[in-house]
Amino acid sequence: MVHGSSGTILRVDLTSGSTSVETFDEPFYRLYPGGKALAAYHLLREFPPGSDPLGPDNVLVLAAGLLTGAPISTATRFNAIARSPLTGGFGESEAGGYWGPELKMAGLEAIVVTGRSPEPVYLWLKDGTAEIRDARHLWGQEPPAVQAAIREELGDRLVRVLQVGRAGENQVRYAMLMNELRHYNGRTGMGAVMGSKNLRAVAVRGSRRYADLAYDPGTLAELGRRLAKRVPEHAQSWDLRRKGTPVLTDALNAGGILPTRNFRQGSFERVDEINMAAYLALRSGTRSCYACAVRCKPEMAFSDRYTVTDTYDGPEYEAVAGFGSDCAIGDLQATARANELCNELGLDVISTAGTIAFAMECFEHGLIGPADTDGIELRFGNARAVLELVERIAHRRGFGELLAQGSRRAAEAIGGDAPLFAMQVKGLELAMHDPRGKVGVGLGYATNEAGADHLVGFHDPIFANADSVAFRAMIDLGISEPSGVLDLGETKVRTWFTSERWNSAEKVLGLCFFGPAPRSMIQVGEVVDAVRAATGWEVTVDELLEVGERAVNMARVFNVREGFGRADDRLPDRLHAPLENGALAGTAIPRDDFEAAITRLYLLKGWDPATGAPTIDRLRALGLEWTAAGSVRRATAVEADLGA
Amino acid sequence: MHVHLGGHLAFYDPQRRSRFEVHLDGETALLEVIRRLGVPEAEIALAAVNRQVVALEEARVGDADRLDLYPPMSGGAQPRRARRFSPIGPPGSSRGASASARRSPPGRARR
């Protein structure tokens, strides 16, 4: 038995309509213990290089983490991984909620989906059995109706439903997946991939308990009880429960890096209309993910200038800033409605907001006009225009057809200076964090295989004060030397690299970033203890960091194979130009310093500074020599330099 | 003076308030105000007086001012230098156990 896992993977070929199961052994699982690692392994092995992300050859892997479903707070996440239709590279997105734990309780670690069904279908998984069922009657229906119909058909109201929305059906390149209507694999277009396969939903129900899988369930249960008691006594978790992620709006505005008017500015003159106080006036409650005591998910329902129901997750910070300051809309009700529309239609909030902000800037510069935008006056601050565009994007109607391709493709089509206004890396729109005030986030944006995601490494303020609670929680990761938020020197790069490996390990284990370091409700040693109790392995922090690094390297090899190189690891030019206002007015990321930091990072990673490709020595050290076969380019010319 | 304790700094107020008024007798050093509020200085990454970022060590505030304090969660303007490392374990941390967890078990071959 492989403890902490059922050792079982489901394979689904939608072209032939066949399913099969595979098992793996313990040595394999120790190298690829779930989540990002397990999914990346199958993507690398099975994706035919160069295949169309929206074609039948794309491989969509849904994988639970090693600890997903364990009775400890924040152990809820699963990964969706495939070639991204938005970036053309490694696509990945994680979500919490209940679906990942249920997959694990159904006796599956991952589902590997290939092919394309001739007609819409959904998958029904129950305790190790799989059935492909007709979903023609569900196509085009709204998510709550789909969820209710599936539960009705299966005669079980506790079935957990993962599904795409209309945007996924229509293959909008940044369509997302949702489970239980409230939890989203938002980034890199995994909903478009699932939609392209005519797979409307994956319903799952399991009767196992994590205790049946664990090596030492008693220790895990005790840790779970301890963490549940700790939440109200731990400053950061208490704050997350009380306020949630929108607490960032005031702080980022004060620091001068609240993305405003498509990242031109760092301070929003109407911040008080979208800030925490405004938010709390509208929030109606909070909800939880599976077995998590943090309870940070917001509910919002009101009927006033706009009407919003609590059917979906309320706006997180990314929606508040994305549809608020970044589109210059000082109206939280409008941003909440835009957020709800994205959820209802199955769109990634960040890419939708970023693409609309891009289009607004194009409009204001005269690159596009009302004749292009179906008559919409697409100026910053026009909330009605945003709401109209969200619908047009999801239905790929009119001007929405162009924006449904994402800001990079839209910019290429518009031409002129438009590419300068597309705030994206590798095609993925920037999250609502401006690296001009936290440059390590920029390192993550630039070098992350999936593009400009904000959850790649820790954010720089965590590194700044060695006496802070957050910093002290990192000591067990081997981080001991502070560095400033604008520092791009050796210390910053080294500590950021450690944080990237740790975050990646969390994506493998199925832990939410609101649990372990840097939030630190769960101490680093407690994560190690949890893995030990789950598996019986004598793991160490170093081994977990290596697990994280292995997953990153697989993603990097995938990108190398698809033609990505160092030139793709860059920030939008705007971030190398000064912020226009706010506390950091005039601040830019120095281009030379940033390039030097990337070189330094590559060397730490054992990657070729010229190409950004992993060296064969590094791959071998990580047990990944098998990835260097075939079409993967080897970059061994500078190996002699890497020991320095 | 109007005080706003951003993020988890409100946890350190005995009544766990985010926004409240305090009375100051004349102009007072910001660090002294922070000491009276009971907020650990190490948890403050950003301070703004009347919406202008200030240096903790230098600023003085009066009764008519508005004070915003934020923990290290956001980034942006950095009015203070990074501190040197001081090896103090967090309350209730399992540093001892996890320090040993950093090492590979004896005799175990690592890949």
Task: Render pLDDT for A517-543 as a digit per residue (tens, 0 to 9).
Answer: 888 899 999 999 999 999 999 999 999
* Burial (0-12, 13-18, 19+ Cβ within 10 Å), A311: middle
Which pLDDT score, from 0 to 100, does residue B78 have? 66
Low-confidence winner among A103-112, A180-189, A284-293, B87-96 (lowest mean pLDDT): B87-96
| pLDDT surpasses 80 at B68 | yes
Query: Average pLDDT of B4-19?
Result: 96
* Contact between chains at B7 and A243 (C-beta distance less than 8 A): yes
**Of B10, B93, B98, Cβ closest to residue A528:** B98
The answer to whether residue B47 sits within a structural domain is yes
User: By CA distance, what is B46's nearest residue in A?
Assistant: A255
Tell me the chain B residues in contact with residue A243 when contact means C-beta distances shorter than 8 Å: 7
A500 confidence band (pLDDT: 50, 70, 90): very high
* Contact between chains at B53 and A583 (C-beta distance less than 8 A): yes
Tell me the chain B residues in contact with residue A248 when contact means C-beta distances shorter than 8 Å: 73-74
For chain A, say whether B72 makes contact (Cβ under 8 Å): yes
| pLDDT surpasses 90 at A644 | no
Which pLDDT score, from 0 to 100, does residue A255 have? 93
Q: How far apart are CA B68 and CA B19, in angstroms?
A: 9
Tell me the chain B residues in contact with residue A584 when contact means C-beta distances shorter than 8 Å: 76-77
Which pLDDT score, from 0 to 100, does residue A633 have? 44
Q: What is the pTM of this model?
A: 0.94
* Contact between chains at A472 and B48 (C-beta distance less than 8 A): no
CA A637 to each of CA A564, A597, A628: distance values in angstroms, whole numbers, following the listed order: 18, 21, 15
Phi and psi at residue A143, to the nearest 5°: -55, -45
DSSP string across A289-300: -TT-SS--EEEE
Stretch (H or E) spanning A133: strand A129-134
Q: How far apart are CA A59 and CA A419, in angstroms?
A: 30
B75 confidence band (pLDDT: 50, 70, 90): low
Tell me the chain B residues in contact with residue A621 when contact means C-beta distances shorter than 8 Å: 111
Whether A435-642 and A8-213 are alike in CATH topology: the answer is no
CA of A246 to nearest chain B CA: how many angstroms apart? Answer: 10
Long-range contacts of A537-544 (CB under 8 A, 24+ apart): A537/A30, A538/B105, A538/B108, A539/B101, A540/B101, A540/B102, A540/B103, A540/B104, A540/B105, A541/A476, A541/A477, A541/A478, A541/B98, A541/B101, A541/B102, A542/B102, A542/B103, A542/B104, A543/B104, A543/B110, A544/A502, A544/A505, A544/A509
User: By CA distance, what is B69's nearest residue in A?
Assistant: A251
CATH number at residue B34: 3.10.20.30
Query: Average pLDDT of A174-178?
Result: 98
| pLDDT surpasses 70 at A174 | yes
Low-confidence winner among A91-95, A507-511, B15-19, B89-93 (lowest mean pLDDT): B89-93
Which pLDDT score, from 0 to 100, does residue A118 have? 98
Determine what percent of chain A is predicted with pLDDT higher than 70. Answer: 98
Tell me the chain B residues in contact with residue A516 when contact means C-beta distances shorter than 8 Å: none
Q: How far apart are CA A81 and CA A194, in angstroms?
A: 11
For chain B, say whether A468 makes contact (Cβ under 8 Å): yes
Query: Average pLDDT of A559-573?
Result: 97
Yes or no: say if A64 and A510 are a contact pair by the CB < 8 Å rule. Answer: yes
A232 confidence band (pLDDT: 50, 70, 90): confident
* Burial (0-12, 13-18, 19+ Cβ within 10 Å), B109: exposed
* ipTM of the complex, rounded to two decimals: 0.91
* Domain assignments of chain A as residue spans, ordered by start: 8-213, 242-429, 435-642
For chain A, say whether B55 makes contact (Cβ under 8 Å): no
B61: containing domain:
2-74
Tell me the chain A residues in contact with residue B18 when contact means C-beta distances shorter than 8 Å: 276
For chain B, say whether A62 makes contact (Cβ under 8 Å): no
* Contact between chains at B70 and A543 (C-beta distance less than 8 A): no
The answer to whether residue B15 sits within a structural domain is yes
| pLDDT surpasses 50 at A459 | yes
A231 confidence band (pLDDT: 50, 70, 90): confident
CA of B46 to nearest chain A CA: how many angstroms apart? Answer: 7
| pLDDT surpasses 60 at B95 | no
Residue-wise pLDDT for A270-327, tens only, equals 999 999 999 999 999 999 999 999 999 999 999 999 999 999 999 999 999 999 999 9
| Mean pLDDT across chain A | 95
User: By CA distance, what is B79's nearest residue in A?
Assistant: A255
Q: Does domain A8-213 have CATH number 3.40.50.2300?
A: no
A 233-292 residues inside an 8 A Cβ radius of B: 235-236, 238-239, 242-243, 247-248, 250-252, 254-257, 266, 276-277
CB atoms within 10 A of CB A33: 31
* Contact between chains at B19 and A277 (C-beta distance less than 8 A): yes
Total domains present in chain B: 1
Which pLDDT score, from 0 to 100, does residue A634 have? 42
Preferred mutation among A227, A247, A253 to probe B, highest tally of B CBs within 10 A: A247
If phi over 0 gives left and psi between -120 and 50 gives alpha, with beta otherwise, what is residue A248?
A: alpha
DSSP A75: B
A328 confidence band (pLDDT: 50, 70, 90): very high
Which pLDDT score, from 0 to 100, does residue A517 have? 84
Residue type, A156: D
Which pLDDT score, from 0 to 100, does residue A628 have? 84
A397 confidence band (pLDDT: 50, 70, 90): very high
For chain B, say whether A541 makes contact (Cβ under 8 Å): yes
For chain B, say whether A581 makes contact (Cβ under 8 Å): no
Residue-wise pLDDT for A120-146, tens only, equals 999 999 998 999 999 999 999 999 999
Rounded to a whole number, what is the distance in angstroms from the first to the last CA of chain A?
A: 43
* Contact between chains at A476 and B98 (C-beta distance less than 8 A): yes
A 444-463 residues inside an 8 A Cβ radius of B: 459-463
Which pLDDT score, from 0 to 100, does residue B79 have? 57
Determine what percent of chain B is predicted with pLDDT higher than 70. Answer: 67
- b/e code A133-144 from CB counts within 10 Å (16+ = b): eebeebeebebe
The answer to whether residue B63 sits within a structural domain is yes
Yes or no: say if A416 and A367 are a contact pair by the CB < 8 Å rule. Answer: yes
Tell me the chain A residues in contact with residue B48 when contact means C-beta distances shorter than 8 Å: 254, 583
Which pLDDT score, from 0 to 100, does residue B72 have? 87
The answer to whether residue B98 sits within a structural domain is no
| Mean pLDDT across chain B | 76
Which pLDDT score, from 0 to 100, does residue A629 have? 67
Which pLDDT score, from 0 to 100, does residue A518 have? 84
Residue-wise pLDDT for A48-61, tens only, equals 999 999 999 999 99
Q: Does domain A435-642 have CATH number 1.10.730.10?
A: no
Tokens 């009066």 locate to B62
| pLDDT surpasses 80 at A514 | yes
Which pLDDT score, from 0 to 100, does residue A1 have? 80
**What's the CATH number for A242-429?**
1.10.569.10
